[in-house]
Amino acid sequence: MLIVMKKGSTGEDLARVVRSVEDLGFRAHVIPGAERTAVGVTGNAAPLDPGVFEGLPGVAQAIPVSRPWKLAGREFRPEDTRIRLGGRTIGGGDLFVIAGPCAVENEEQVLSVAQLVRAAGADALRGGAYKPRSSPHSFQGLGREGLEMLARAREATGLPIVTEAVDEDSLDLVERHADVIQIGARNMQNYALLRRAGRAKKPIFLKRGMSATLEDLLLSAEYVMNEGNSDVILCERGIRTFSRHSRYTLDLSIVPALRDASHLPVFVDPSHATGLRDRVAPMARAAVAAGADGVMLEVHTAPEHALSDGRQALLPAAFRELIVQLRELAVIVARRTEAVR
């Protein structure tokens, strides 16, 4: 249920509505908007009677919400969520580029990639200190030491840091060192971790599980938001299909579908989706054309020596060329949207 307040309603009216929701044993989420304030209701097992709230002073309308995701849905919040990060905005218009190595390997490597992506115009630095690898014999990441290297790279370049937490212990450390906490594809349905992420004071970069539907992804976002953290960024990173020509199948059709269903920013990671350097640029361009709010790209100065995902890492020159194209495309896409409106 979404309770929409009248334009001239008072703070007292709003407090009364919140109280009446809580008195029924449900949760009230106040959603301020450009046009009007609304109160989202969650926790009710059965549909509520709109009449209960429509009789209260200051209430314009009580609307039943049909989707299983509430806080993440456009029904609750029609305007795009915007998240401020490093002086830039994620969501709502501008293209946001996150780039960096797959893993933090050593100080020199992370610093050199940070400097080159910064000079090329990236908005944030990525790099895993905790690596959820398919094999236990593969490089698992530098852990806390890696986080400290990322923090020093931020100091040197001014770029905000996006890095993954793989469990609740690493999330504590990532929250302390990073600017955005990534939850990887393999943990998208780790509900205990999602709840912990929901109590974090940093935005959450939530990657789609490789077998997850749009509904699964939005309900995972809902877990985070239900704990009070509304800064969630969704990321398509490829799903498993019968195709063998690329590492995963990039499901770009989910971009407009997510933007329809949700107000949360939608990113695309063509590096993990394709697994092959030569396929990254075309899929990144397609992602921007499809309306993505941002992309996540893996970059390495010497991919042949990379400790993980070397085959999909862009070389510096290719990254520099791609980011220029992506910014140009973003302008065209935005202009088209304006023209249609």
- Binding interface with ligand PEP (CB under 6 A): 102, 128, 132, 164, 184-186, 207, 237, 269, 272
Contact partner at residue 123 from Mn ion, ligand PEP, none, CB < 5 to 8 Å by partner kind:
none
Beta bridge partners of 262: 73
- In the bound state with ligand PEP, the residue whose beta carbon lies nearer, of 28 and 281, is 281
C-alpha to C-alpha distance for 150 and 143, rounded to whole angstroms? 11
Least separation in angstroms between CB 272 and Mn ion:
6
| Overall residue count recorded for the chain in this entry | 341
Least separation in angstroms between CB 145 and ligand PEP:
17
Edge-to-edge strand ranges of the sheet holding 2-5: 27-31, 38-42, 2-5, 59-63
- In the bound state with ligand PEP, the residue whose beta carbon lies nearer, of 37 and 308, is 308
Beta bridge partners of 4: 38, 61
C-alpha to C-alpha distance for 40 and 156, rounded to whole angstroms? 42
Least separation in angstroms between CB 169 and ligand PEP:
18
Q: How many helices (H) and strands (E) does the chain have?
A: 11, 14
Least separation in angstroms between CB 318 and ligand PEP:
19
Residue 16 burial by CB count (10 A; 0-12/13-18/19+): exposed, middle or buried?
A: middle
Least separation in angstroms between CB 298 and Mn ion:
6
- In the bound state with ligand PEP, the residue whose beta carbon lies nearer, of 71 and 235, is 235
C-alpha to C-alpha distance for 184 and 91, rounded to whole angstroms? 20
The 8-class DSSP code of residue 133 comes to -
Confirm or reject binding of residue 102 to Mn ion (CB under 5 A).
yes
C-alpha to C-alpha distance for 141 and 128, rounded to whole angstroms? 7
- In the bound state with Mn ion, the residue whose beta carbon lies nearer, of 102 and 219, is 102
Select the span of 39-47, 96-104, 160-168, 234-242 touching Mn ion (CB under 5 A).
96-104
- CB-closest chain residue to Mn ion: 102
Q: By three-state DSSP, how is residue 127 classified?
A: coil
* Helices 214-226, 191-198: crossing angle, 10 deg rounding: 50
- CB-closest chain residue to ligand PEP: 184
How many residues of this chain bind Mn ion (CB under 5 A)? 2
Select the span of 44-52, 105-113, 174-182, 305-313 touching Mn ion (CB under 5 A).
305-313
Site residues for Mn ion per CB under 5 A: 102, 309
